Structure 1
């Protein structure tokens, strides 16, 4: 079901804006996860070693699993899976990682490709065994279709032999240690049968028992990774035999009872993409986790700015640091960005649900590109927001107990997870560049003149920026020497990537416009319209030179842009605490971050200090 925005005019401003961010069915979609992260087992612990934090992540995974009516639900419901990432991400990134792998990449793939075997999944649904996913190799990341782990069909035994041929083919970074309990993996391997390479498929392989890897499986922990501790490992296989039903087969490829391979897809790359189709849902999940983390970082920064007092302009005067334009300005712009991220994420999620409900093959390709573009743009913007919020909280936010450093490390991780951002944007850039109509003479006609207060005009300017960059990319490609495909792409890729960035901005601006139009007249609509204009004008200001050159903006409008932006910053800044309330973050979660509390300084109190034990303390009593 496609989510809707809550538009009941009887709702409060906070509830209406919460509906904008989180959809109209908050109780069903987000309520269970919000309640879960509010419970005592999910309270933040600052006194644990990395190994203890890893054990806690797996303990929490079991608690989470026990709250589900069926563990298959997150695997089969992309909206539930995204919401899970949205709420778990800021609370426990390690848990989010292992839960996303188990429910999406592992269980989701089994459910998607279980038509041939109808295998018993109870041990995975009940977490007697934890699922993991082994695709990337030391020498193959974004080119995972070229993985070199082999699964050779043995006709005599009627099964496959899984093998790692050299160091570069070791599986890189799956959570395959015995930590948390016995593990089973889905291993991406090249299916070889009768001296033919049929492409890369997934194979179900038990990896460990409670204490050690199983025979033929070698697991070595990688060095500590930036951020939350996860048992990332190097994993390899030495002639491990698998029964024939280990192959996750289907129409894209199977070995029949006669030992012959068959596939409805003649292209090996398409077989591979079908096998790892859950990566698309993974991108949606990464976007959701990034959105949740950015909102949390911004909420903490706004709160801290309100109760961190500094010297004022007059003697003995104290003012909150957020009163300064240099402090509240970046947070106001971050607020406009966070709403844009949330709206673009929900647009991508809605489109994916609609596609699953009955879209066309061509529509699926377009939707997958939207999800990829959104994932890259949202996770990059999340990193920007978290970095800004960390700076606004100063040295306090560098301490692990205040949580911001963990959010920053988590933002770095999702930039790479489920497809490196630059790689997936480059793929989208190439697709969009080749689909773009050539512009005669290399120029781009300007947008029709308009008013900077008109959202429709701002929308045309967003489209104009996108067209400018793709036209430049096309011109550079056509001017490069023929016959050198890499050289032609290199000539155009910089401009094409800027075009994808502009495309994402345009999509986010369109989602903003739709959300504003859906709200009833009143304060909520006014607040959202301010954020929409701030987001749009910042982008127009950044690209004002190009827009002036095409005649889309007048010199007067370009000169007016800085003042227009400043007015919007002032308006948004006055509502920052109220806007944070629309994030619906549980007080129990925020209480775990000392700098989010007015009494943050008490976290540093010293029971043995003179002010506690000396004469001054006695007098105070």
Structure 2
């Protein structure tokens, strides 16, 4: 079974040795923030240099670019992957097309590609997230052709990108600002800006570093301000001319955000691989006392098998879906709106499965699932960031569903229109279109807000379930895994299948039970097929790793005496000897 999947694992480059190096060992949480943040930057640089991406890899979305975002090393430090994807997809991806035509930009681009500098991407503002087209940061053209970059109000401060004096390397950024020429707003443009030298900020640039995100290794996420920073004319990426369509100009300028929606979504695959491996191995190892008085592994319970086997099925199906989506995304003749739809749909489904699966896996590990060192809950919290970065999932679904419902374009057709998931997709479309037609008002009306917006995310998820199924069939994922994936999709909207497909609740349960029973004998092979073993640092996966972990913990002893009950003493009986520690 294992070889079926391992042939499809990314083979360029190998990060297995890096994952087992001292740099990637468990970090002492008692270390100061600066030390821990430096480890994150060192890891980001090491992974980046292992891949040695070229600017062409990034711009033309070559296989190595996608492989980076599915590498099994990603869950070991989500903060490092945050730095990496900003560095390459957003910063380098925006700069490179201009550098190809402008020789003076090429040295900076090469520094970014080498990770000799830390490169950031400043788009969102404190007051402008989902409505970032209305950002307020200005870059005013001066008489000599240079620019004055300024944050005009607290709402206009740039939000979230790591910009503090950390990492011991120069910090640069692609900053999105409103180009002002003779008092005229000429739309948003990217500007190349130096932020600091790694020890202090540049003149006119300041950053207020935010507290560490829950569950994440520390990165200097910050609120960034520009106080009349003077930029040379060469800092502008693009034209001074006013575009004919300001909205389209904005979408063109931030085109790498759409790429990021797809690339970041693929990080969920690595998180699922690692987490299900940990939960599966722990469930095989962990025992309870059975009715016969003998040890019984907890994996024997169906309630333990369900989340683990479902996650395995989703992992391999989503892996096929991610590859299929990437192939569709890079087609040069694809309608850009459909390209956006492919990324949004993939993200909706990846995030839906990942958030649900990681919660269930952590829960089935009991108290062990609460600790970051066992990897699952840390991945769960990191993936919540993925759900927001490069486009909030709900916002993406609302935009896509609204445009599909009013007929602006269509998503790729089902490979099998008669499949259950294709029928479900068509049924939800018909239901939503009926509601829209009955409104008699535009898609920005209050009625549309009340009655249609709540339908958008389930609709896009239905498209994604069908596309994932089609991709898995095309990739020849083993049928038992596909069957269990379908069973999960049926459970997700059981009422529709009961009402429209005449599949009752017990029938859905029987479909699931049959698929689970078929996969259970292959559990060990499936866990190994994830490829996660060399990247697993969780102590709970084996007796040896657990013993080594316990031996490394701070150990306290003593001879203190406290008599809790008057007239009695508590001590150590001579016959007991020493406890085996």
What is the TM-score of this pair, normalised by structure 2? 0.88
1:388 aligns to what? Answer: 360
Distance 1:241 1:80 in 2: 37
Are 2:450 and 1:479 equivalent residues in the alignment?
no
Query: Which whole-Å deviations, capped at 9, do the CAs of 1:464-517 have from their partners, x for residues lacking one?
Result: 21122222222222222536723243121222332111101100111121122x
Matched, 1:492 2:492: no
Does the Cα contact within 8 Å between 2:403 and 2:409 map onto a contact in 1? no
User: Shift in Å at residue 68 of structure 1?
Assistant: 4.5
- Residue 144 of structure 1 deviates from its aligned partner by 1.2
Tell me whether 1:89 sits opposite 2:74 in the alignment.
yes
**Matching residue of 2:338:** 366
Q: Which residue of 2 aligns with 1:55?
A: 38
Equivalent in 137, 146, 161 of residue 159 of structure 1: 146
Q: Can you give the 5+ residue segments of structure 2 that lack an aligned partner in the other structure?
A: 559-573
Matches within 5 A, 1:236-275: 236-249=225-238, 254-255=239-240, 261=241, 263=243, 266-275=244-253
Aligned counterpart, 2:509 = 562
* Residues 180-207 of structure 1: CA deviation (Å, up to 9, x unaligned): 1220111110111122211111100001
User: Is the counterpart of residue 322 in structure 1 residue 322 in structure 2?
Assistant: no
**C-alpha distance 598-212 of structure 1, shift in aligned 2 (>3 A):** same
Say which of 534, 553, 557 aligns to 2:502.
Answer: 553
Q: In the alignment, is the contact (CA less than 8 A) between 2:37 and 2:219 conserved in 1?
A: yes
> Where does residue 530 of structure 1 map in the other structure?
480
1:138 shift after superposition: 0.4
1 CA distance for matches of 2:123 and 2:25? 33
Distance 1:423 1:484, change over 3 A: closer
The correspondence for 2:221, drawn from 228, 232, 235, is: 232
* 2:308 maps to 1:331: yes
Aligned partner of 1:102 among 72, 84, 87: 87
Helix, strand or coil at the partner of 2:7: helix
Aligned pair count reads 552
Secondary structure at the aligned position of 1:435 is classed as coil
CA distance in 2, matches of 1:58, 1:127: 10
Q: Report the 3-state secondary structure (helix = DSSP H, G, I; strand = E; otherwise coil) of the residue aligned with 2:455.
A: helix
Superposition pairs for residues 183-582 of structure 1, below 5 Å?
183-228=171-216, 229-249=218-238, 254-255=239-240, 261=241, 263=243, 266-315=244-293, 317-353=294-330, 355=331, 359-360=332-333, 362=335, 364-435=336-407, 460-480=419-439, 482=441, 485-490=444-449, 491-516=451-476, 528-550=478-500, 552-553=501-502, 559-582=506-529
Q: Quote how far apart the aligned CAs of 1:601 are.
A: 4.4
1:216 deviation in Å?
0.9
1:231–1:544 CA distance, 2 compared to 1 (3 A): closer
What is aligned with 1:8? none
Contact 2:138 2:177 in 1 (8 A): yes
Shift in CA distance, 81/578, structure 1 to aligned 2, threshold 3 Å: same
Alignment match, 2:539: 594
- Give the whole-Å Cα distance in 2 for the aligned partners of 1:291 and 1:417: 16
Partners of 1:483 and 1:352 lie apart in 2 by 30
The answer as to whether partners of 1:78 and 1:281 remain within 8 angstroms in 2 is no
Contact 1:150 1:164 in 2 (8 A): yes
Distance 1:554 1:304, change over 3 A: closer
How has the CA–CA distance of structure 1 residues 409 and 488 changed in structure 2, closer, same or farther, with 3 Å as cutoff? Answer: same
The alpha carbon displacement at 1:392 in A equals 1.1
Q: Is the contact between residue 82 and residue 284 of structure 1 (CA under 8 Å) also seen in structure 2?
A: no
Q: In structure 1, the residue corresponding to 2:394 is in which secondary structure?
A: helix
Q: Distance in 2 between matches of 1:161 and 1:60?
A: 35
CA separation in 1, counterparts of 2:427 and 2:358?
30
Change (3 A) 1:537 1:408: closer
Seen in structure 2, the aligned counterparts of structure 1 residues 477 and 414 have a Cα distance that, compared at 3 Å, is same
**Is residue 79–residue 349 contact of structure 1 (8 Å, CA) maintained in 2?**
no
Alpha-carbon displacement from aligned partner over 1:126-170 (angstroms, at most 9, x marks no partner): 43421111101001111111111011111x221111111101000
TM-aligned CA deviation for residue 38 of structure 1: 3.5
RMSD: 2.8
